[in-house]
Amino acid sequence: MEFSYHSYYLQFLHPFGVSSNTRTTTTSIFVKLTGNGFVGYGEACLPAYLDDTEIGTIGFLEKCREYLGAARSDQPLSEITAEIDAFSESYNAAKAAIDIALHDLSAKQAEQPLHKYLGIPRTPPVATSFTIAIDSADKLERKLVEADNYAILKIKAGTADDKRLFRQIRKLTYKPLYVDVNQGWKDKHMVLDMIGWMKEQGVLLVEQPMPVSMRDEMAWVTEKSPLPTIADESVKRLKDLQYMKGVFSGVNLKLMKSGGIGEAMRMITEAKKQNLKIMLGCMAESSCGTAAMSHLMALADFVDLDAPRLYRNDPFTGLSYHNGKLQSPAVPGIGVQPLNGLFA
């Protein structure tokens, strides 16, 4: 196969704030694999607060160059991804980019949309939550107007002023909310009190309220919590699921954490065995990574795939959002195409 990649700077419509930081851009590295007359695309999305850097990711992609150049597009996909995985313990975003491009290429060769290629039904359009990042009160109102199409809002919490934030939101909208604390709370009694209070505020679930290291405290909270608790930072890959039974009630799967679609599918099977609810999420990805994940929506309890809507310069087309709902593309592959010039 022929292998190339290209760094790109995704620009947010509004500065994007979470409990630890605020930023205006996200770097993504887009991967292109060509074989047997077909082209597959993938994305490594690299939010600056995570471990994977642009330089490190490029280093890993270069490490894969020779192997991918010798690999054939008719080789079993899982054989190629297993080899790539063994090159390093880290670089899950780079692994995801290669895995997504391989799935795109393979499904195109099979002339099937990715969901069909994976044996998953296509869902009717699904309501995705829409993220409202941490921001000043005056900007909140404008953001809620922009989110008008979306039936569920995802609120980034985890500041000292969370109750005030909710009161402001509730003055402006009664929509159901997902809350993502991004490890921002540290006291289990306070967390349980907050979850009880948030339930009264119309919150449906709480994502990663406490730091990854506070597993025992998290299990204590989940046992008593009136709302589902969803692991995000606590679960990256399949091996992490062995520690989650009783600790959370569900898990937020992201391709950039799992290293791609193959491992995400294995994680869904294992999570369902453990009666964990499945949330499909994304890093702040373009349509490329998000489209790949959209093909798995029939397997999910919660869908949080709004990232492409947060940008002004998404370089891929083909993923459709209508009235706050998302449907996976029906064309072969992951179903998105790069705009002219992306790989020029």
Task: Tell me which residues touch Mg ion (CB under 5 A).
Answer: 180, 207, 232
Q: Which is nearer to Mg ion, 162 or 207 (CB)?
A: 207
Minimum distance from residue 11 beta carbon to Mg ion (Å): 21
Nearer to Mg ion by Cβ, of 94 and 179: the residue is 179
The residue among 97 and 251 lying less far from Mg ion, judged by its C-beta, is 251
Q: How far is the CB of 233 from Mg ion (least distance, A)?
A: 7
| Cβ distance to Mg ion smaller for residue 251 or 326 | 251
CB 317 within 8 A of CB 339: yes
Measured from each CB, the residue nearest to Mg ion is 232
Would you say the C-alpha torsion 33, 35, 37, 38 has a positive or negative sign? Answer: negative
Burial class (CB in 10 A: 0-12, 13-18, 19+), 226: exposed
If the CB atoms of residues 232 and 306 are measured against Mg ion, the closer one turns out to be: 232
Say how far apart CA 299 and CA 153 lie, in whole Å. Answer: 21
DSSP structure class, residue 321: E
Cα distance between residue 151 and residue 85, in whole Å: 38
Residue closest to 173 by CA, chosen among 154, 195, 197: 154
User: Rounded distance, CA 98 to CA 292, Å?
Assistant: 12
3-state secondary structure of 229: strand
Nearer to Mg ion, 26 or 109 (CB): 26
Q: Nearest approach, Cβ of 248 to Mg ion (angstroms)?
A: 12
State the helix-helix crossing angle for 92-109 and 54-70, rounded to 10 degrees.
40
**CA–CA dist 304, 243 (Å, integer):** 23
Residue 210 near residue 186 (C-beta atoms within 8 A): yes
**Toward Mg ion, which CB reaches closer, 120 or 253?**
253
- Residue of 243, 247, 298, 232 whose CA lies nearest to 270: 243
49 vs 197, beta carbon nearer Mg ion: 49
Shortest distance (Å) from residue 305 CB to Mg ion: 13
Least distance CB 133 / Mg ion (angstroms): 12
Separation CA 111–CA 314 (nearest Å)? 26
- What is the C-alpha to C-alpha distance for residues 173 and 176, in angstroms, rounded to an integer? 9
Type of residue numbered 108 = K
Least CB distance to Mg ion at residue 252 (A): 6
Helices (H) and strands (E) in the chain, counts: 11, 16
The token pair at 46 is 């690299």
At its nearest, how many Å lie between Mg ion and the CB of residue 180? 4
CB of 181 to Mg ion, least distance (A): 8
Q: Report the residue number, 162 or 180, with the smaller CB distance to Mg ion.
A: 180
CB of 210 to Mg ion, least distance (A): 13
What is the DSSP secondary structure assignment for residue 155, as one 8-state letter?
Answer: E
Give the C-alpha separation, 343 to 6, whole Å. Answer: 6
